Amino acid sequence: MDDLRQAALECLLITEPLKKVEYTRTLYQRWLNGELTISTDALSLPDIAGHPDKPELVAPRDLPRRRNSAATGTATLIHAITHIEFNAINLAWDAVARFPNLPHQFYDDWARVASEEAEHFVLLRDHLLSLGYDYGDFPAHNGMWEMAKKTHHDPLIRMALVPRVLEARGLDVTPKMMDKLTGSGDLRAVEILAIILREEIGHVTIGTHWFNYLCEQRSVDPFTTFKDLLDTYFSGELRGPFHTEARKQAGFTDAEMALLEGR
């Protein structure tokens, strides 16, 4: 398959995690090698991305509360992050496949994000295996993909709400998770999360860039648009603390941070 967007759709449909990772690696290398074109066709995408039978997907409120225990240690926390990274592979390829007629750089950016998310998944899954568990051993929720479904009709809304809200939330909570894992002695997990935090700042930066680009293309104010989207999709649901330094590195303005803090 010689079209990046069509190949991204094929990757999106893969259900087996390691096959999705390998396809992602191969696809991104072919893209870097200049072997792929970018079609302008509208593609028919699934409502649900390819995912394995396990983990069992439940509503966030139905997830068992994570506690350290002699039985699971920090494995449930590592599993939850692994699940987020698996979903992030799908979200990146979905952006490539779903939205036609955007600049070449848009597809380059999100193909790179997919590649990096795949490597995050592998790092976390390997560590989970070292703890005696595997991806799928604990239930998980599908909140990230639910937001992808709500934003499938508009790349501006997708860029505002997936990278700049859901993925940016990872910037906020990762330092606390690293502190917790340091306290429990899982220093390898801390090393992995440090890599992920650094690269996720880049991913949120990409979301910020394309959100601002699309606002400029439509002659709408980014701050007002972001505020309106938060009011529409996240009324009263976003609470701090926020990792202000990381968010500013990712392109959040002082006005946007004041907006978030004020909510």
> pLDDT tens for residues 118-148?
999 999 999 999 999 999 999 998 878 888 8
Give the start-to-end residue ranges of the domains of the chain.
Answer: 4-37+72-262
> Between 157 and 65, where is the model more confident?
157
pLDDT, tens only, 198-229: 999 999 999 999 999 999 999 999 999 999 99
**Average pLDDT of the chain to the nearest whole number:** 93
CB atoms within 10 A of CB 218: 9
* Rounded distance between C-alpha atoms, residue 86 and residue 123, angstroms: 11
Residues in Cβ contact with 107 at an 8 Å cutoff, skipping those fewer than 6 apart: 4, 5, 38, 96
Q: Which runs of consecutive H residues, i.e. helices, occur in the chain? A: 4-13, 17-32, 75-98, 104-130, 143-150, 155-161, 168-184, 187-218, 222-233, 244-249, 254-262
Q: Model pTM?
A: 0.94
State the pLDDT confidence band at 69, using cuts at 50, 70 and 90: low
